[in-house]
Structure 1
Amino acid sequence: MQAGQRARTAFLVLWTVVTALKVAVAARLPLFVDEAFYWQEGQHLAAAYSDLPGLTAWMTRLGVELVGHHALGVRLPFLVMGAALPWMISRISSHWFGSRFGWQAGSLTLLMPLSATLGILAVPDVPMAFAAVLCLDAGARLLRGVDAGSALKLAIGLLLGALSHYRFIGVIGVGFIALLLLPDGRRMLRDARVWMALTVGIVAWLPLLAWNLDNQDAGLKFQLVERHPWEFQYSGLWFLVIQPLLVTPLLCLAMWQAGAAGIRPLSAGQRRVQWRYFALVGAVSTLSVFLLGFFTDVERISFHWPLPGYFALLAAAPLIFIRWPRFWRRLAWGMALAGLACAFGYYLMAASPALRESLAGNKYYPRNFVGWQPLADAVREELADMPADTRVLAGSFKVGAELGFLRDDAAIRVLPHPLNDKHGRTAQLALWRLVHEGPGDVPQLLVLAPGDQRYRDLLQRYHQVCGLVGPLPPPRVVSIDRGHQRFLLFRLPPGKRRGACVTPAMAWVNTPLPDAVVDGAVEVQGWAFKDGVGLASVEVLVDGQVAAVADYGSTYDVTAFWKISTDPHHPRVGFATRLRTTDLAPGRHWLGLRLHGEDGSVEEWREQPFMVAPR
């Protein structure tokens, strides 16, 4: 009894602290680009959308209507669901294994990074996880005996899952396999009440099927064909490295052991059939995701895909912990707590400008959270100085959705962009008539995000934009975190401008390399060009201040790579200068460029760090 009471107290304290932290982070963290698009979908209520069924969009709309137009409002329904999940796992585990183990399973759900952070972001994984746990609970109860209440719970879970994501089909498949492997499961599936619940689940897919029938199967093609290479990739082996880190290694081991122990043959009365059910659900789900990882999309985030299976294994994991020596049990709990701290630390870093800047240039830099409010402020300032009928034109769905949320305008037009196709949003934007179809009869403020494509594709993208709107005038540059998030704002007159394509400037610093350690004088050398008009000069900046005017115009032929470039100065686009660092304090500094175009444009380039050696 004392052990159970301690487990209950620990769970309540942990739930309170974690929930408070999630609310605080959700209130401060800017919307992720996908969240902004789900908000936009919620402003155009429909039964289904090109990328998802309707529930995620409906939840964002509900949150905004209840508590207001801000990030916390968008995320509120997801926070509520995320806060309920540990209680649900605790209740499931308590019912079959006892209250002590139940409270511990709930605490593990609160500590495991993948589940602990559910609800901070308004993403479909939250309602899908909620639905999966409902189905897990209903399935375990139905194995004991079919009753109307459990069948109703199964129906609700299947309904919510069908309205959450295409991937819920996999959850249904895993559940069926687990039940078919159990004699009690096969017996359960012969009951009419179970089939009534399944019928509700089948009917819930009809809005999504109807949308696809009306739109040439655009959603199905994207989710099942276009986003996946369906070719073997060795990168799938990263699953074995990433998953133990994301759920913490010892907890991952405990869940695997819980799955193995549950699947082993049982003697009469040795263990409840529910443990075997949880083990089968967790094992089949995890192994399926692992195998699919060799053939499916690896460019976008997929580390959360095994989460429904992990919930099943978490319910039984405390039974494994009790068998371990005390040292290893405590180490497992400590590692889980450390994992929780790291997960929240990342979100807190993304929400803090000072901490976030420290990751500038790093592959973990949270670009999709960054810079939207400064961009919205710059757009407001530009529009204040333009005609009243000026329209905002976004370079991609990301910019359109984020600006739309901050401006409370769900009807910002966007240019055609490969990103719109890659994320399955083109068909939806077309249905809303928000894809730019040609020059308009009113002024436009074009907003581009150069970081939306790989650098090697950037010049081609600029030329594509020229083809859509004409030569680009000098831009206003909005630079965040030393230029590692940049936006370009262009004032476009009515109609399409004629003439040769004029693009923003392109540049590269060859020396010094990023993070180079320098002492005394350092050579700064590289190339820069601007298609259509060329550059007049290049200034070298240190920590945002002009340190030197580079000698610009030396021979540096880059046309072998930038084959479509039309800078009139080619091949004389090299620059070089010599900087003295003796006046700089030892430590980290930032090297940047200011590019002056022949058309009067002034563009600051992304900065890179260098270190001044101690003297």
Structure 2
Amino acid sequence: MTGGDLRGAIARGWRSGSGIVGLIAAGTLALHLAAANVYGLFIDELYFLACGEHLAWGYVDMPPLTAVQAWLARSLFGDSMLAIRLFPALAGAGLVLLAGALARELGGRRFAQGLAAFAVATAPGDLLAASYLSMNSIEPLLWMGCALVLLRIIRTGDTRLWLAFGLVAGIGLENKDTMLLFGFALVAGLLLTPERRLMANRWFVAGGAVAFVIFLPNLVWMIEHHFPHLEMLANIRRSGRNVELSPLQFMAQQFVFTGPLAAPIWLAGLGRLLAGRAFRPYRALGLAYVVTIAVLLALHGRVYYPLPAYAMLFAAGAVALEAWLAHPGLRWVKPAYAGVVALAA
């Protein structure tokens, strides 16, 4: 291969869907690392750092993974703000990569992959989650990891991938208890569609066993300590500390977290997942979002709890928009809309 051929191959690689997504992810990582020292420690970060000095299989209000992140970051890189916020920044960049992968799994080409990644990279809620150490920084990565594995199971019929699903879900359970909610929502979505046949095999059971084994140390800790997390939640409810929003107020906040001008992307994705003919095999993902919202509304969950689910809706919406804008006369809309989304963020 000549030098010209090599340069051409590299240029084509960067112009591909994967190349564009990679550039957006790299830009996201650079942005978070550059901003790591701009603000001081958030009050919760002080608590997580203290937990990292007293490692255990559980804590009153969380599983152990965030404390492990704090311990690992300080052990490897020291006490600088950059060190403490490195893993959240990597998780934010990883979520951008996952958004592109989700779009590709749904049949999206270069524009769809890039738009999905860009929408996630500029979503206010995702920018915030990846900017400081917390359970919320890695949570979207784990939720969407499960979604990607499920998409691949549906597309390929390879039920052995339930083992990978169980692995990611188990790690998610060691990060934040809301993984139970999303896992329940995905299973409920599958049960409501013909794809429930993919659960009728030993690999689904094995995947559940993998998740349970990973979660077991934290479960044992909670049993030994008489479920302090439940007591804490009961105390919070009695104190009236949490503001209970109406369904309309709750949903209005979703547009704030995802970016109001990016909302047409995820709304299009939700519509296509629920009613689109081409996305019929993947309807379980749309139903999972609906179940997640319904449960949180019923339990008066916090307004940011659904945030980890939006990357899959952005991906589906980006694929839908790519198809709708395929007409040559509408090509100008693609960069124009991406620019509007960026300015709004």
Give the TM-score range, shorter chain: 0.7 to 0.9
Distance 1:127 1:234 in 2: 26
Q: Displacement, 1:236? A: 4.6
Alpha-carbon distance in structure 2 between the residues aligned to 1:53 and 1:318: 34
Counterparts in 2 of 1:162 and 1:217: CA distance versus 1, 3 Å: same
Q: Answer whether contact 2:222 2:228 (CA < 8 A) is retained.
A: yes
Structure 1 residue aligned with 2:126, among 112, 115, 129? 115
What is the aligned partner in structure 1 of residue 229 from structure 2? 219
Asked whether 1:99 is paired with 2:109, we answer yes
SS in 1 for 2:320: helix
- Determine which of 282, 288, 293 is the counterpart of 1:286: 293
Matches within 5 A, 1:384-533: none
Equivalent pairs counted in the alignment come to: 324
Q: CA deviation at 1:220?
A: 2.0
Aligned to 2:257: 246
Q: 1:8 to 1:146 in 2, by over 3 A?
A: closer
Provide the rounded CA distance (Å) in 2 between the counterparts of 1:234 and 1:203: 36
1:246/1:265 CA distance change after superposition, 3 Å: closer
**Residue 33 (structure 1) aligns with:** 43
Gaps of 5+ in 2: 1-11
| Amino acid paired to 1:145 | G
1:254-309 Cα distance to aligned partner (Å, 9 max, x none): 3122212221273xxx44613x23322233323443x24xx536xxxx44211232
Shift of 1:93: 1.6
Q: Quote the sequence identity (%).
A: 21
Instruction: Report which of the two has the higher share of strand.
Output: 1
1:258 corresponds to: 269
Give the 3-state SS of the residue equivalent to 1:56 in structure 2: helix
The structure having more radius of gyration, on CA atoms, is: 1
1:180 CA displacement: 0.7
1:60 deviation in Å?
Answer: 0.8
Quote the Cα distance in structure 1 between the aligned partners of 2:29 and 2:58.
31
CA 1:134 to 1:18, structure 2 compared with 1: closer, same or farther past 3 Å? closer
More helix by share: 2
- C-alpha deviation, 1:196, in angstroms: 0.7
For the 8 Å contact 2:144–2:311, the answer to whether it is kept is: yes
Aligned to 1:139: 150
Distance in 2 between the 1:194 and 1:247 partners?
33
Deviation (angstroms), 1:20: 1.0
Would the aligned equivalents of 1:112 and 1:247 in 2 still touch at CA under 8 Å?
A: yes
CA distance in 2, matches of 1:216, 1:12: 45
Q: Is 1:296 paired with 2:300?
A: yes
Matched, 1:177 2:188: yes
The 2-side partners of 1:328 and 1:285 are apart by: 32
Partner of 1:228: 237
Structure with more contact order per residue of length (Cα contacts < 8 Å, sep ≥ 6): 2
Aligned to 2:308: 308
Structure 1 vs Structure 2 CA RMSD = 2.7
Hey, what's the Cα distance between the residues in 1 that align with 2:291 and 2:335? 29
Name the residue aligned to 1:338.
343
Consecutive unaligned residues in structure 1, runs of 5 or more: 341-615
- Supply the distance in 1 between the matched residues of 2:78 and 2:258 (Cα, whole angstroms): 34
**2:17/2:114 contact within 8 Å kept:** yes
Is the contact made by 1:163 and 1:205 (CA closer than 8 Å) also made in structure 2? Answer: yes
Q: Tell me the TM-score normalized by structure 2.
A: 0.84
Q: Distance in 2 between matches of 1:335 and 1:226?
A: 44
Q: Aligned-pair distance for 1:57?
A: 0.3
Correspondence 1:273 to 2:285? no
**TM-score (ref. length: structure 1):** 0.49
